[in-house]
Amino acid sequence: MTKAVSHLWDMSEAYPYPSPFTLYLDLIGWNTMRYGKHMADGCECGVYEARLIGDALIEFSDDPVEVGKYVNVIMLADQLTIDYDRT
At 32-73, the pLDDT tens digits run 999 999 999 999 999 999 999 999 999 999 999 999 999 999
What domain count does the chain have?
A: 1
Range of the domain at 70: 3-86
pLDDT above 90 coverage of the chain, percent: 84
Q: What are the helix (H) ranges across 13-63? A: 20-27, 30-35, 47-62
pLDDT score, position 1: 72
Check: pTM over 0.85? Answer yes or no.
yes
The residue-averaged pLDDT of 5-25 equals: 96
Measured distance CA(45)–CA(56) in Å, rounded: 15
